[in-house]
Structure 1
Amino acid sequence: MTVLLVHGDREYLREPGEELQTDLGVLEVPEDVEPGTTLETHLGEPFEVRALRGPDLFNHFERTGAPMMPRDVGLIAGHTGVAGGDRVLDAGTGTGVLSAYLGRMGAAVTTFERDPEFAEVARSNMELAEVADRVDVRVGDVTGQVDDLGRFDVVTLDTEDAPEVVARAPDLLVRGGFVAVYSPFVEATREVVESAREAGLAGIETLETIQREMDFDERGSRPSTAGVGHTGYLTFARRP
């Protein structure tokens, strides 16, 4: 069980029995360490022990590209209702943030990544998230394997060929099942919507994912002027 050691804005991942060496001193992590306890270095500096949760995984996963943001994961979970016991097909694993979140919700996830090196990193990340038994990371292109996969409760896509997979959604989804597609570009999103319409899917909707932080200081309160908070577009549709 990997734990998070926190001191102020510093965070370190360690396994029970391992040692942490920093300028704050040396800390031995006990074999029976429990989240919620406080450990001290030999210099007396305290570190809080925390169990890993979703946002911690987002921050500490080894990355192979830009990972899906937690707010996008939240929209996918909220709009598809993915839950424990569901079968999920995911294409475009990347770092594996979405797959890890879904696995921690109790879903059985089959995820496809084209790049073998990226897939290996994702497998390591699933071990860190403790969902390797629920998330099957496969190497390859999902479009050539649609006929052999069976049906799923939810299909999530973050790939350039998403319109092709959406066209096969009726063959991949159980009745009432959802497809969710992420794209950073409007043009690709339009293609997904058109493909969903042609496939006879229902409840088609597209959302721009945008979020602004708030600034609070002595002058007053207002949305932050740092960045626009845009990540991309999410399209949802459902098999009737």
Structure 2
Amino acid sequence: MKPPVVLIRGRNAFLVEKFEGELHTHKGIIKLEELKNKKFGDKVKTHLGYEFSIIPFNASKFFQLFKKGPTPVMPKDIGAVIAYTGLQPDSLIFDAGTGSGVVAAYLAYFNKYGEVVTVEKREDFAKIARENFKKAGLKNVHQIIGDAIFVADGFKKEFDLVFLDMKDDVEFLPKAWEILKEAGYCVVYNPYIEQTKAVYEKMKEIGFKEIEAFELVKINLEFKRVGTRPFTEIFHTGYLVFGRKV
């Protein structure tokens, strides 16, 4: 077992990137040297006697443990992108608006034999994303700092998927059509319904087919002695628009 690994207890999780020094938790201190002789599934105790389980650091913990900058796209929405586009593990993907790198990381993880090109205008966001990609050990993400349309102009290859989470998404759609393969998908994420409508109408104008626009809402259940009820900390996250070049 080598770092990075995750230590979990209940809803609390800690990312350990090296097996040296100490980890200070709400349940006490863990000497990280003790992890060197452990394996996944083992437990490690704090100085107060509380146990934490050792698990691998993989996509199930990207969203929770990645460093955040701008508000990231939620896993429920990323999962829909993967499922609705039928993402293949050898795809070429263009991701415009890297942000903290959450979307690019998930797409790269499930695109094991393919490549993800991710573009971000802001250097401070790009730095956060670069650190996250490194933590996750992702080798198939190619990060570019710059304007997405300018960067896309430089590509002669055709992409299987274009994902947009950027301010000028409507303006980018003609370029998305140009760089997509036949039968490739363009997916746009936006938190505002007016902009989502504009994206939908522009996709129709350009000639995209199989266009869908929707919102996914995740509602957790709360179990108490008096009964069970739904609750959610965040009701609205964003809208997704899917279009296919056919």
TM-score for the superposition, normalised by structure 2: 0.89
Residue deviations 1:173-205, cap 9 Å, x none? Answer: 111100100000111111111211121111111
Kept after mapping to 2: 8 A contact 1:16/1:32: no
Q: Deviations over 1:12-59 (max 9, x none)?
A: 221342232436234224445432122234554322111113231211
Identity %: 33
Which residue in the other structure is 2:209 paired with?
A: 202
Structure 2 residue aligned with 1:239: 245
Q: Distance in 2 between matches of 1:206 and 1:195?
A: 13
What per-residue deviation string (whole Å, max 9, x for no partner) do you get for residues 88-129 of structure 1? 000011011111111110241000010012111101100111
Distance 2:234 2:123 in 1: 34
Q: Which residue of 1 aligns with 2:144?
A: 138
CA distance in 2 between partners of 1:153 and 1:29 (Å): 45
Is it true that 1:20 corresponds to 2:22 in the alignment? yes
Secondary structure of the structure 1 residue equivalent to 2:117: strand
Change (3 A) 1:232 1:110: same
**Root-mean-square deviation over aligned CA pairs:** 1.9
Counterpart of 1:111?
A: 118
Tell me the SS of whatever aligns to 2:216: strand
The answer to whether the 8 Å contact 2:92/2:115 transfers is: yes
- Residue matched to 2:8: 6
TM-aligned CA distance change 1:155 to 1:29, over 3 Å: farther
Report SS of the residue matched to 2:68. Answer: coil
Question: Structure 1: which 5+ residue stretches go unaligned?
Answer: none
After TM superposition, the structure 1 = structure 2 runs for residues 53-92 of structure 1, keeping only pairs within 5 Å, are: 53-92=58-97
Name the CA shift for 1:62/1:200 in 2 (closer, same or farther; >3 Å): same
| Partner residue in 2 for 1:169 | 176
Preserved contact between residue 16 and residue 30 of structure 1 (Cα < 8 Å): no
- In structure 2, list runs of 5 or more residues that go unmatched: none
* Structure 2 CA distance for aligned equivalents of residues 12 and 75 of structure 1: 27
- Corresponding letter in the other structure for 1:135: V
Number of equivalenced pairs: 238
Compute the displacement of 1:147 (Å). Answer: 2.5
State the AA in 1 paired with 2:130. R
User: Within 2, Cα distance between the matches of 1:92 and 1:214?
Assistant: 33
